[in-house]
A and B are shown apart, each in its own frame.
Chain A
Amino acid sequence: MTHPATDPHRAAHPVATGPTTDPHRGGGAGGRRVRTVVGLLTAVSLVLAGCGVDSTRPADDGDLTGPVTVFAAASLTEPFTTLGRRYEAEHPGSTVTFNFAGSSALATQITQGAPADVFASAAPRNMATVTDAGHAAGTPTVFARNQLVIAVPQGNPQRLAGLADLTRPGLKVALCAAQVPCGAAATTALDRAGVRVTPVTLEQDVKGTLAKVKLGEVDAALVYRTDARSADREIDGIEFPESAQAVNDYPIVVLADAPHPTAARAFVELVHSAAGRTVLTDAGFQPPAGP
């Protein structure tokens, strides 16, 4: 690990930077670097969103009744399915097809030419993969935010109250790996709290982390609030103040090669609408930060 964190060349290509060259160190420095990049991208995307004019694509057929294919982060499964049904009800004859998967896998599929209309990512970093490769029509806009909670088995048998309790000897903690968005957020939150946790496992995605709590193999894990809510029959989610400093932005964009751009834009509008926001908040998401 000889790369200085300030190397401008690396900072300019966030997709291939950070702790990514070395999957074996989920250390604080890497997390901070990722956070810097994420913060930078968010700032840029917010500024550009302020300009707000999508001039890259001319008017097309104007067809709202056709199919729309949405590639969305796995954590959006429940609210987006609801929104998809709503879109189909509002536009008779239309069909919304979803491909839910990890944001990075989706980004790879899109840059390799998958025929998608809309991409909704769980982190700006994966969105940057797509925009950097020129696959986005216009600028991504942030439509929701998500933050971490401590997931514990129902009833909180270990009586955990905050991040500091995770250092308790003998306590088994699962985190997401630093390479995936929830792991980057966990690293940031723990850094901010000045807490050093030695997890028993660094999971490949947030659902895997959640599963370890559900199965009772670990005593606690850091997962998104939305994931904790989706499993509230088996686990409890404990809020902690430092999570406010590790918030994940969810950007959405219409893709440049979208086969159905008009319908795609209509779907993105629905996600941004008041109705869309309600569905997302019900799932545990927070509205995007103000301009």
Chain B
Amino acid sequence: MTTRTRRRGTGQRVPVALLVPAALGLLFLVLPLGGLLLRTPWTALGPRLTAPGVLTALRLSVQCATLATLLCLALGVPLAWLLARVEFPGRRWVRALVTVPLVLPPVVGGVALLLVFGRRGPVGGWLDATFGVTLPFTTTGVVLAEAFVAMPFLIIAVEGALRGVDHRYEEAAATLGAGRWTTFTRVTLPLVAPGVAAGAVLCWARALGEFGATITFAGNYPGRTQTMPLAVYLALETDVEAAVVLSLVLLTVSVLILAGLRDRWITGP
């Protein structure tokens, strides 16, 4: 899965039965983007972009998505390894539970986070009483909400990569006296690096666009918890043009970053 094979000029004809739905699929995904571009007020773009708050929201979005991705890497890669490499009772259930945030409406995820990490929740209440720390309505809260929603993307990608790795490399390392930790860091991790990178990119992109869990758990306050998707939603309430411009900014930044990363590290997962 990590090979960069190119079948150029093999002369194979693409079956129409695949080509037509593929083209329709592409159109379906790209057409709404075209709609955004059509509605973009190009002449008023400059003042719109330099309006105070746009950069603040963008910076906050990028920072939070990056921190959330780091958190997901720190916790998600070990969890993916556990799921892929260790036989334990109930593993199937753990795997199902890990993907729950994928199907849970993010708003519900946000409420669930509030019920646990809110100031009346068991963890949040303890944090507040012991350290005087509250998570809702803080930037940390944004990072937590994004990590909650985005982590499954990373776990699924990394677990898939781990399952695709030839076990014999790890076994060879073990026979040469490497412990499980050394094998993991020196053999396994380098082997699945492309999978981890792909997962991290997916995770980052999901975190960047996160809306429901963020506004529910962290609220919306400019400079502290108002990320781009929140700014877009609120702009939409009154001014579609502003919302379109903000969306375009978010889109441009994410496409640039994702395209850059894809070429550099990722080779078709």
Task: Answer yes or no: do A and B interact.
Answer: yes
From the candidates A23, A108, A201, A208, name the one contacting B242 in the complex (CB within 8 A). A23
The segment from B68-76, B156-164, B191-199, B227-235 found at the interface with A is B227-235
Counting CB contacts under 8 A, is A204 at the interface?
yes
The yes or no answer to A135 lying at the interface (CB within 8 A) is no
- Does residue B269 face the partner (Cβ distance < 8 Å to A)? no
How many B residues face the partner with a CB closer than 8 A?
Answer: 37
B234 touches A23 (CB 8 A): yes
Interface: A259 (CB within 8 A): no
Write out the residue numbers on chain A whose beta carbons fall within 8 Å of the beta carbon of B225.
201
Q: Which residues of A contact B220 (CB under 8 A)?
A: 177, 201-204
Tell me whether chain B's interface is mostly helix, strand or loop, or mixed: helix
Cβ–Cβ contact B234 & A201, under 8 A? no
Which residue of chain A has its CB nearest to the CB of B238? A20
B57 interface hit (Cβ, 8 Å): yes
Mark A15-44 against chain B: 1 for CB-CB distance below 8 A, else 0: 110111111110000000000000000000
Please state if B219 and A104 are interface contacts (CB–CB under 8 Å).
no
- Known contacts A201-B219, A201-B220; is A215 also within 8 Å of B118 by CB? yes
Q: Which residues of B194-244 are within 8 A (CB) of A? A: 215-216, 218-223, 225-226, 230-231, 233-242
- A263 interfacial contact with B, CB 8 Å: no
Q: Which residues of A contact B226 (CB under 8 A)?
A: 23-24, 202
A15 pairs with B119, CB closer than 8 A: no
**A200-B137, A204-B233 given; A1·B52 CB < 8 A:** yes
Query: Is A199's beta carbon under 8 Å from chain B?
Result: yes
The count of A-to-B residue pairs whose CB atoms sit within 8 angstroms is 103
Interface membership of A174, Cβ < 8 A: yes
Kindly state the interface size class of chain A when it binds its partner: 20 to 34
The smallest beta-carbon distance between B148 and chain A, in angstroms, is: 17
Assess whether B120 is interfacial by the CB under 8 Å rule.
yes
In the complex, the answer to whether A217 meets B221 with C-beta atoms within 8 Å is no
Contacts of B137 in A (CB 8 A): 172, 200-201, 217
> Is B136 an interface residue when CB atoms closer than 8 A count as contact?
yes
| Any B CB within 8 A of the CB of A179 | yes
B53 contacts A217, CB within 8 Å? no
Question: Counting CB contacts under 8 A, is B80 at the interface?
Answer: no
Q: For B233, give the chain A residue with the smallest CB separation.
A: A204
Partner of A104, one of B118, B215, B221, B236: B236
Q: Does B16 contact A (CB under 8 A)?
A: no
Residue contact A217 to B119, C-beta cutoff 8 Å = yes
A16→B222 contact, CB < 8 A: no
CA distance A19 to B52 in the complex (A): 12
- Asked if B51 lies at the interface with its beta carbon under 8 angstroms from chain A, I say yes
Closest 9 A-B residue pairs measured CB to CB?
Answer: A24-B53, A201-B219, A20-B238, A20-B239, A24-B222, A200-B137, A179-B237, A216-B120, A23-B234
- Which A residues have a C-beta under 8 Å from some C-beta of B? 1, 15-16, 18-25, 102, 104, 108, 125, 172, 174, 177, 179-180, 199-204, 208, 211-212, 215-217
- Beyond A20-B239, A104-B236, A172-B137: 12 further Cβ-contacts under 8 Å? A16-B239, A22-B51, A104-B238, A177-B237, A200-B137, A201-B219, A202-B220, A202-B221, A208-B215, A215-B114, A215-B118, A217-B120
